Amino acid sequence: MDGTTQRTSPKDVFMHLLAILALYVSVISFLALIFQIINIYFPDPVEEGPYFDPTYYYEAIRWSVAALIVIFPVFIATSWMLNKSYLQTPSKRDLRIRKWLIYFTLFLAAIVIIVDLVTLIYYLLQGGLTARFILKVLTVLATSGAVFGYYYMDLRKFKTE
């Protein structure tokens, strides 16, 4: 940095919070969507009850798609505006709110990856691996890995000493 510190404005706080919350809701909606598609194409014959009715799957798909249609563009737009502000004022990359939210997101993504792998090994040892289960584990692993990788690379790319 050039010796000056960038002050955090309310706009910065709310833009960063909006971007990260939109990311979280988008990821959850995406995972719910993919899980329901997997449930439809790989049905489990032993499941029964209201949560395993195909109409439940389609209801969850509609909610997920609706959330993605609205919230993912919010994430894209806020991220674009934040990146535009970083180009104008590079010291904004060092805002505490930004770093806290990114490190918290990295922490959450790492926890999800760890729990996902533990779950995979548990079911492997139990003998309960099915194509449906493996697809869900891979979906969670790929999604959380993508989020972790994106923010980790962003921190490394613009690392300040």
Per residue in 63-90, pLDDT (tens digit) is 999 999 999 999 999 999 999 999 999 9
CA distance 39 to 131: 11
pLDDT of amino acid 50 = 60
CA distance 26 to 71: 6
pLDDT of amino acid 2 = 47
pLDDT beneath 70: ranges in the chain: 1-6, 48-52, 160-161
Residue extents of the structural domains in the chain = 10-157
Which 3 state secondary structure label does DSSP give 33?
helix
